């Protein structure tokens, strides 16, 4: 029976042609199978894994080699230092979305806000990151997908976020409250973008990715209707594509928002735009 070091070397080679992060993928999957932290693999390279664990690990490697996301194989993803459950019904939370949490936190402090809406919450990542950072907030996490909301509710319970309400709503349709802050990471990929047919994205819900012909369809809709649910002086914060900053700023200004601006992610891309309702 091979030891952990040998298992990882073999797994890295198997994934080398299908994943740009073959070693990391192998470590995450093996740690998941063994129900150990990744540090265990480095600390005990000579350990021999159980035969049934090796068989399960082999199954996961095959699925990863076929393109399935690691997060779907493990059923979880880290975001804002939180371990969140994910599924094929939700987007996989990405590091760049943490900028949206940071900007929302700034707006919450600036406004001494008490009510926040997370539109299209998916796994609940944004709402839960804010809820645990600001336990006195009342946060509504809405989504049109009942399957996604089941995941969000499981995460809410797992993290003990009693200040979050998970609500079924197609954008604003079932919402009647007013908010000081609205955040959203809506679909913003153009429908004909080849990236929708590549990598992990192939396995994520198209509904959460496809933003119409130019990628701005959902952003336009949210910006147009948000003032009906935003209190005066409240802020709308939106994640968007790296090349959509100028278009989103124009939409916000045309809708009457003031203090319109855009912030860059760690890669230097324009990623989050915001505006204040007058």
44: CATH: 1.10.8.10
Q: Is 96 helix (H, G, I), strand (E, B) or coil?
A: helix
pTM (predicted TM-score): 0.88
Question: Do the domain assignments include residue 158?
Answer: yes
Question: Do the domain assignments include residue 52?
Answer: yes
CATH number of the structural domain spanning residue 131: 3.40.50.150
Are 48 and 115 in the same domain?
no
Burial class from Cβ neighbours inside 10 Å (0-12, 13-18, 19+) for residue 102 reads middle
Are 38 and 146 in the same domain?
no
Are 128 and 182 in the same domain?
yes
Are 114 and 165 in the same domain?
yes
- What is the total count of domains within the chain? 2
pLDDT of residue 217: 96
Two tokens at 188?
């913003």
Q: Examine the fold and report which residue of 18, 37, 67 is the final residue of a domain before the chain moves on.
A: 67
Question: Do the domain assignments include residue 50?
Answer: yes
User: Under 8 Å CB-to-CB from 18, ≥6 apart: which residues?
Assistant: 64, 65, 66, 67
pLDDT of residue 44: 93
Are 197 and 251 in the same domain?
yes
Are 52 and 105 in the same domain?
no
Q: What is the spatial distance between Cα 54 and Cα 72, in angstroms, rounded to a whole number?
A: 19
Two tokens at 220?
């336009």
Are 99 and 49 in the same domain?
no
Which ranges of 112-211 would DSSP assign to H, the alpha helix? 125-133, 146-159
Q: What is the spatial distance between Cα 94 and Cα 80, in angstroms, rounded to a whole number?
A: 10
Q: Examine the fold and report which residue of 15, 39, 67 is the final residue of a domain before the chain moves on.
A: 67
- pLDDT, block means (10 residues), the chain with 278 residues: 93 92 95 94 93 94 92 92 91 93 96 94 96 95 96 96 96 95 95 80 83 94 97 97 97 97 95 96
pLDDT of residue 79: 94
Is the separation of the CB atoms in 182 and 209 below 8 Å?
Answer: no
Q: Examine the fold and report which residue of 44, 67, 90 is the final residue of a domain before the chain moves on.
A: 67
Are 111 and 58 in the same domain?
no
Q: Which residue has the tokens 């005066």?
A: 232
Please give the residue range of the domain that contains residue 48.
4-67
Are 187 and 265 in the same domain?
yes
Question: Do the domain assignments include residue 95?
Answer: yes
Question: Do the domain assignments include residue 72?
Answer: no
Are 183 and 229 in the same domain?
yes
Are 233 and 169 in the same domain?
yes
Burial 43-80 (b: 16+ CB within 10 A, else e): eeeeeebeeeebebbeebbeebbeebbbbbbbebbebb
Are 262 and 131 in the same domain?
yes
Q: What is the spatial distance between Cα 249 and Cα 13, in angstroms, rounded to a whole number?
A: 46
Question: Do the domain assignments include residue 35?
Answer: yes
């Amino acid at each position: 029976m091979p030891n952990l070091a040998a298992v990882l070397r073999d797994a890295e080679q198997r994934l080398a042609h299908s994943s740009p992060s073959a070693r990391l993928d192998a470590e995450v999957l093996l740690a998941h199978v063994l129900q150990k932290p990744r540090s265990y693999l480095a600390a005990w390279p000579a350990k021999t894994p159980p035969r049934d664990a090796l068989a399960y690990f082999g199954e996961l490697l095959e699925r990863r080699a076929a393109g399935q996301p690691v997060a779907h194989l493990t059923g979880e993803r880290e975001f804002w230092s939180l371990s969140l459950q994910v599924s094929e019904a939700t987007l996989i939370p990405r590091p760049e979305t943490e900028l949206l949490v940071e900007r929302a936190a700034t707006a919450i402090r600036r406004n001494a806000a008490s009510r926040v809406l997370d539109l299209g919450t998916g796994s609940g990542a944004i709402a839960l990151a804010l809820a645990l950072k600001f336990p006195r907030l009342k946060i509504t996490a809405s989504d049109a997908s009942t399957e996604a909301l089941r995941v969000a509710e499981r995460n809410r319970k797992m993290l003990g976020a009693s200040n979050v309400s998970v609500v079924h709503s197609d954008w604003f349709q079932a919402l009647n409250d007013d908010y000081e802050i609205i955040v959203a990471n809506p679909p913003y990929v153009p429908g004909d973008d080849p990236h929708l047919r590549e990598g992990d994205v192939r396995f994520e819900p198209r509904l959460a990715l496809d933003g119409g012909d130019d990628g701005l369809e959902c952003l336009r809709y949210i910006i147009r209707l948000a003032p009906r649910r935003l209190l005066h002086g409240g802020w709308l914060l939106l994640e968007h594509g790296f090349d959509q900053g100028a278009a989103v700023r124009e939409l916000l200004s045309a809708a009457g928002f003031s203090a319109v601006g855009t912030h860059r992610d760690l890669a230097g891309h324009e990623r989050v735009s915001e505006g204040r309702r007058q």
